[in-house]
Every structure is written in C-alpha cells, then in structure tokens.
Structure 1
Amino acid sequence: MSPARLPARRTAAYLTGILALASAATGCGNGTGAASSAGKATSITALDYYTDETEHAQWGALLAACGKTAGVTVEQTSVPGAALIPKVLQQASSRTLPDLLMLDNPDLQEIAQTGALTPLDQYGIDSSGFAKGILSAGTYEGKVYGLAPDVSTVALFYNKDMLAEAGVAVPRTWDELKSAAAKLTRPGRYGMAVDANATFEGTWQFLPFLWSNGGDEMELDTPQAAQALQLWVDLVKSGSMSKSVLNWTQADVHDQFAAGRTAMMINGPWRIAALNKDQSLHWGVAPIPVPIAGQTPVMPLGGEVWAVPQNASRDRQVKAAKVLACLNDPANMLASAEEHFTVPSRSAVAAQYAEQVPSAAAFVDSVNLARARTGELGVDWPKAATGIYTAIQSALTGEQTPEEALKHAQQIATGS
C-alpha cells in the first residue's frame, strides 16, 4: 500500500522468503479461461517500482515462478516510484507498454481512463473473495482492471513498557488519545507521532481521522473534517506531538518510535519486520482511536495492483494474465504477506494470516472494511489529496485555523 510510495518494507536476508514464494508459485493453475496460441510467446515484460534490491529480488523470484506456470520468462524492469506514472503514460502514447504492469492502487483509475488497460474478466481471472475496498481500488467504470496480491493500511503502534510505566491504557477514543499522549510526554520523548508532511503520505495518515469522524473528500470544508484536523492541532499545541511531524516521513516516524523518542505512532504493517529485530523493544498494535467509544475506524486501503495493458499480441496478454492470476493465487498471497508483513487480499486468506501472525490482526480487521482512496472521486482523487495535506500543513503551523485551511483545501480539490 503505498500512499505516495511506501518505503521498501524489508531489508533483512531474504533467501528463505524467495524460496517460499517460488515454491508456492509452482502450485498455481493457469487462472484464466481464455485460449491462447500455444508456443507463440516465450517471454513477457513486467514493470513495477520495486527498486529496493531486496524487494526487487523478492518480486522477481515470484514473477519468475509464476512465469514458469504460464510457460514464459518474465523480464522484470523496476523504476523509481515517482517515475512510474510518467513512464507508463509515455509508453501508452507510444504503444510500448509492458505486458504486465504494477500500479499503486490510487493510480489505476488514471491509467484505466486512458484506455491503456484491459478488463480482467476477459481472461476469466477469479476475483472472488476479495474485500470490497480492494476490488473497488482495482475497478474503473464497473470493470476490474487490477488485482492486488496483498494490501495494507495503518494502525496505532505503542510501546508497552512506556504505557505500563505511565499507567496508561491503550487509547481507543480521541479523548483517550490526547490524555494518553500528554501523560506519556516527558523531556526527550513525545507521546504521539504521525507523518504530517506535505505529500500524499501525510494525507494517507490523516484519512482514518477524517473518515472515522464522518468527514469526506467530496466536501472537505465541513465541521467533521475540521474536528479531525483540530485533534492533530491540539496534539502539537499541547506538546504531546513534535512540530517536526510536518516534515517526517513514515520512515522517520518509525525511527522516532524505535529510538524511544515517541511512545505511540501511526504506521503500517511493513514496519513489523524492523520492530521485531529489537528484542528489547516491547510493542503492541491496536486500531486507530475513534471519536466516540464503540465506533469502527474507517481506514484507507494501501497496496499495489497488477494489470494487463493493451497489447497487439493476444497471446502475450493471455500469458500475462496467467502470471497475474498466479500472483493472486491464495497460496502466493499468504506467502507474500508473510514475507512483506502486509495483508492477503482475499478475506479468507487474511483470516488465516491473522491467526499465524497475531501482530497483524489489527491490520487484517481494518483491511476488511478499508476504503479505496479513489472510491468516490476516481481520477480526481489526487486534487483532494493535495488539498488535504496542504490544509494539514497550514493548520499545524498555525498559519490558518482548521476551518480556514479546509476551506482552502476544498478550493484546491475542486479547482475553484
């Protein structure tokens, strides 16, 4: 899940994981109902943004194994996250798109709108069992164009020792969050940390607070949205949260937490691998606090989808679709989630994963009800996202009140 482009999620030794993924892949069926001209395509191309050496190798191994089931060699190319969409748009214009394409899920609508992608139902790919939000993220104008093997969202990480020492319970509501953060704050340590920077990551982290309070990207200048932003303002003004959150990335937030400089943080499951390395760090994970006790948090959906672009060769499309189906095979979903500390996209597989990895349970529960960021605005989502992070910056610096900042955000979102 990648809000703007999440940092690489694992840097540890990965040979065991690669072997596990490859082993799982060899059990895939063809996953498609379309016929192809046997023997025509011996290789296909795949494009993604997994430039981290470990991540590139992990996905490369799985692509190779799934290619074997389709009878082709997969030639993988990875480009930096910021370069992917410009490259894809250029390739679409010149008709040089790869056979298999990975996209951050909020970008799928923009690419599908150009006509560059093919609906997956024409290949007979099984899209049953996926959570509603996950299918929504891969859908454009009623057709499924992309599927994600695994997904993510965010949750509240907390330092168990610090909470116990301060006599603080894990906060479940906004009032409890403010109270807990204040009690946990002391010289050299803040109670709470978020990523509030001026990128889509800042928007991504704010969405659970906005949505859970009834706010909506369709209309940002509402009391519900202002109340959510006021919560973050109050945390900074009270000294419970550092003003530096205005510049922190999610990686920076993690570093602050791991170093003991914040007792709680908002972050994603991809951080679990690094947290597990420090045996002296006793941490837990819980749902993001909600405005009122008993509410269910409304979470944003992260993760990358795989799609089959338009291609002059029907045989290459069919082979690419077989690889895509293999990537989304339940066994591969589970193996990939275990390797990346993400959540399998099929609900039944996710439930199995939660039993195997208890620290991921909060994420599994949240993903089941998570919303796609493009679910309401479609291709116009980036404008709203820009308005939101601009409002966060203005309000947290004190330049504008939350109401003023969100009024401006609405103007950015609508282009008025």
Structure 2
Amino acid sequence: MNRSTRRRLTATTMTVVALAVGTTACSSDDGTSSAKAADSGTYTVWDPYPQFAKGSDWVKLLDSCGSETGVKVTRTAYDTSDLTNKALLAAQQDNSPDVLILDNPVVSTLAEAGVLTTTDENKVDTSTVEPNLLAAGQTGGKTYGTPIGANTLALYYNKDVLKGAGVDIASIRDWKSLTAALEKVKKAGKKGITFSAIGTEEGSFQFLPWFWGSGAKLTELDSSQGVSALSLWSDWLKKGYAPNSVINNTQTTSWQEFASGDYAFAENGTWQLANAEKADFDYGVLPIPGADGGNAAAPTGGEFVTVPTQGDTDRYTTTQKLVSCLTSTDNLHDTDTTLSYVAPTSAVQDKQFAADAKLKPWVEAVKSAKGRTSDDLDTKYPKISEQLWKAVQSALSGSRSPKDALTAAQDAVK
C-alpha cells in the first residue's frame, strides 16, 4: 500500500475494531503467520475459524480451491477480534494476506482504513448475492467483498410448553399476540422467554430485531418506536414473562436456560441448531415478529470474503479465482452447512431447504435480515451499539425508564 493509506491506520481505527463482536476464543495456525510467502505460487488466506484444523472440510476446501486455481494456499486462523487487529498491523507493514475472511461489521471499518479493495477493483462477482446481505459489506456506494454465509436470530419455542399452556404457535403474529402467549405460559406455571441483554455487543445484537421491528432507526435511538421496543422488554421483566437473569445472559447462558425445558421461547441463532437437536423436547423456530406483524429485521452475523490491498496488483487475478471457488454454488452449500449458516444466494438457499426442511424459518429470517452497519452507519455503528446496550441495561435494571435511557443514549451518540 502507499504511505498515505498506511498513515490512515490509526489508533482510532484499532479502537473501533475492538468493539466488533467476537465469536471464538482461541487461534490455530495451519500455515504461516506471515501474509506473504517467498514462493510467488503461494497465496495466503486468513480466516476466523480456528475450530477447523487440518483435515477438516473447510481446510480441504481451501486446498482444493488452491489446486483448482493452480497455486498453493497457506492458511492462518485467528479468533475474530485478533484477526481484525492482525489485519490492520499487516496492512501497515504492506504484508496483507491475499484473502481475508472477516466478521461482517468490521468490513466497513477496514474499508475506510484503506485495507480492502473494492469488488470493482478485484473483479469478484456479487451479482447473485441477496442485496440485504451484501449491504453489510458496502460503504460509500462501494462493495468490499462477498458474504460467505449468514446467520441471524429467531425464536426457538418448546412445543410441549406451548401445548400445555393452550398456545397455538400460528396465533403469534405480532408483539401483542406474543405477549398474550407469554401470559398464558406463566399462568400455566411455566416460564416465558429468555434472551441475552448483557452489556456488550451481544446485548445490542439481540435487541436489534425488536428495535428494528418497531420501525425505529439507529440514527434516532430515542424515537417513540425505539422506546416502545425497550418498553416491551422492560414490561416482560416486570410481569415475570422474562427472567431478571437476561441482564447478565450471554447467548450461551440464555440457551442453557431454554435447554432446561421450562421456557416457552428463547431468542437465539442458527448456531444453536445442533444443540436444539439434542434437547429433550420437541422444538420449533419462529421468525421474530414485528410490532404490528410480519417478520422483524434481525441483524446478520457471518463473514465476508474480502481481498486486501496488495502492492503487487497482478496478484488480484489469481485471488479473484480463489474467491470465486470458495463462494461457488456447490462450495457455499457445503461450507454453510458446516458453519450452520444460511447461504447468501437464493440458489444455494433453495438447495439447503431441499436438503433440510427445518431450515425454512431460518431462510425466511435471513431474507428479512439487515446488516448492523447498513443505512450508511459504517464506522459509526460501534459507538451507537455501545450506547444502545447501555440503555437496555439501564431500563431492564430499573435505574432509568426506557424513554430516559434511550434519550441519554442518543445524547451520548451526538
């Protein structure tokens, strides 16, 4: 990269990246931690999947795409937060990997920092990607990668608990009917709904479907719609429909509560599907309803395959072939099945649904999903998110009313 680009990689950028949500806790190295190899026939890939070691389907795919492209692929895996910081450091040293697979909220930050090339520059084809998913990698009217897959949030429900409370799942179409169902469940002696409202990005992530489902926008946290969403959660706690533990719940501990078999509903993601299959009760999945009906927009999780800026621009041609292989229809299907992701293209979504009908509500949820950095929020999102989770914490703990909590949040963002 040129010097002017390197100078833009400031401490501020590092701070913004540190706020991105992390999903794993360890790292592994299947190659070299150096981005550039001495052999010009070697191309480097960095990813956030340390759980996949040599011999895994993911690593086999990387090797296969390397062979198909006529190069050797050297892969390094990091946990999510470490990966973004390593990417910034490598860019400062003009030593970026050829392919960088990133958690989608970080894409706009690294793009603004000059770390990533646009799809116009690297010629990666995104024409078949669902627009709402591609938006997470767009900023300033330009696209900086292509999603490898997406996960999002929905409501898991316990069929036995609902049956015992006399609740027909088909009757739940909006907030009013959902709250009525929670009331019936409580009267039947069971527990209503659990979720994560912890004071981190996880808390914002779980609140966003309700916030967006009210019609609120992240540029106006204290709108009447936003207040109604926070009031919904706050009222659920006051009435005993949701436990006070949600204030400290992560998505993992929230799932553990649901797995006890006592709860009617749990807000959680596709990554819990394997655990759901192990549960001692029949479960179903319902897209999160909007305030007045329809499916609320839930935030998209998942990664983008990006191409970092290289001093040797001739490498982009081969890199584009690697990315095209990794994101081809056949390979996306296998990869997204491994990652419990919904594919970013309708063609692969259809293949997933044909193979497993239980994915239908997840496909519906992803089709309604929205990137956290969409609406031109880009690098402003982490600051907004931090104030949002603080507002949720204040309201649910009872230290502030929902309106006062969100007013303080909006003032802090300004």
Q: Do they superpose with TM above 0.5?
A: yes
Amino acid at match of 1:225: G
C-alpha separation between the residues in 1 aligned to 2:231 and 2:55?
40
> Does structure 1 residue 194 correspond to structure 2 residue 211?
no
Deviation at 1:344, TM superposition (A): 0.7
1:13-412 correspondence to structure 2 within 5 Å = 41-53=40-52, 57-170=56-169, 171-185=172-186, 190-278=191-279, 280-293=280-293, 295-376=294-375, 377-412=377-412
Q: Mind listing any 5+ residue stretches in structure 2 that lack a counterpart?
A: 1-18, 26-38
Give CA-to-partner distance per residue, 1:191-241, whole Å, 9 cap, x none.
101111111111111111111111010110111000000010011111111
C-alpha separation between the residues in 2 aligned to 1:80 and 1:412?
30
C-alpha separation between the residues in 2 aligned to 1:47 and 1:56?
17
Amino acid at match of 1:303: G
Alpha carbons of structure 1 residues 258 and 269: separation in structure 2 relative to 1, 3 Å: same
Size of the alignment, in residue pairs? 381
Alpha carbons of structure 1 residues 85 and 3: separation in structure 2 relative to 1, 3 Å: closer
Amino acid at match of 1:381: Y
Secondary structure of 1:86 counterpart: helix
Secondary structure of 2:305 counterpart: strand
Deviation at 1:379, TM superposition (A): 1.2
Q: Which residue does 1:33 correspond to in 2?
A: none
Secondary structure of 2:100 counterpart: strand
C-alpha separation between the residues in 2 aligned to 1:296 and 1:92?
40
Amino acid at match of 1:351: D
RMSD, matched Cα: 2.3
Amino acid at match of 1:404: D
Secondary structure of 1:344 counterpart: coil
TM-score normalised over the length of structure 1:
0.86
Q: Which residue does 2:22 correspond to in 1?
A: 5
Alpha carbons of structure 1 residues 66 and 113: separation in structure 2 relative to 1, 3 Å: same
Deviation at 1:182, TM superposition (A): 2.8
Kindly indicate whether the alpha-carbon contact (under 8 Å) linking 1:131 and 1:369 is maintained by their aligned counterparts in 2. Answer: no
C-alpha separation between the residues in 1 aligned to 2:411 and 2:54?
39
Deviation at 1:97, TM superposition (A): 1.4
Kindly indicate whether the alpha-carbon contact (under 8 Å) linking 2:326 and 2:332 is maintained by their aligned counterparts in 1. Answer: yes
Secondary structure of 2:43 counterpart: strand
Secondary structure of 2:332 counterpart: helix
Alpha carbons of structure 1 residues 138 and 160: separation in structure 2 relative to 1, 3 Å: same
Q: Mind listing any 5+ residue stretches in structure 1 that lack a counterpart?
A: 9-39
TM-score normalised over the length of structure 2:
0.86
C-alpha separation between the residues in 2 aligned to 1:98 and 1:74?
11
C-alpha separation between the residues in 1 aligned to 2:194 and 2:298?
18
C-alpha separation between the residues in 1 aligned to 2:23 and 2:180?
30
Which deviates more from structure 2 when the two are superposed, residues 75-84 or residues 227-236? 75-84
C-alpha separation between the residues in 1 aligned to 2:322 and 2:149?
15
Deviation at 1:352, TM superposition (A): 3.0
C-alpha separation between the residues in 1 aligned to 2:112 and 2:355?
39
Deviation at 1:248, TM superposition (A): 1.2
C-alpha separation between the residues in 2 aligned to 1:192 and 1:226?
20
C-alpha separation between the residues in 1 aligned to 2:268 and 2:295?
18
Alpha carbons of structure 1 residues 111 and 188: separation in structure 2 relative to 1, 3 Å: farther
Identity of matched residues, %? 34
Kindly indicate whether the alpha-carbon contact (under 8 Å) linking 2:20 and 2:106 is maintained by their aligned counterparts in 1. Answer: no
Amino acid at match of 1:5: G
Kindly indicate whether the alpha-carbon contact (under 8 Å) linking 2:164 and 2:188 is maintained by their aligned counterparts in 1. Answer: no
Amino acid at match of 1:44: Y
C-alpha separation between the residues in 1 aligned to 2:93 and 2:186?
56
Alpha carbons of structure 1 residues 143 and 98: separation in structure 2 relative to 1, 3 Å: same
Kindly indicate whether the alpha-carbon contact (under 8 Å) linking 2:53 and 2:59 is maintained by their aligned counterparts in 1. Answer: no
Amino acid at match of 1:160: K
Deviation at 1:3, TM superposition (A): 7.3
C-alpha separation between the residues in 1 aligned to 2:385 and 2:74?
34
Kindly indicate whether the alpha-carbon contact (under 8 Å) linking 1:104 and 1:303 is maintained by their aligned counterparts in 2. Answer: yes
C-alpha separation between the residues in 1 aligned to 2:62 and 2:69?
10
Kindly indicate whether the alpha-carbon contact (under 8 Å) linking 1:197 and 1:247 is maintained by their aligned counterparts in 2. Answer: yes
C-alpha separation between the residues in 2 aligned to 1:183 and 1:6?
35
Kindly indicate whether the alpha-carbon contact (under 8 Å) linking 1:148 and 1:303 is maintained by their aligned counterparts in 2. Answer: yes
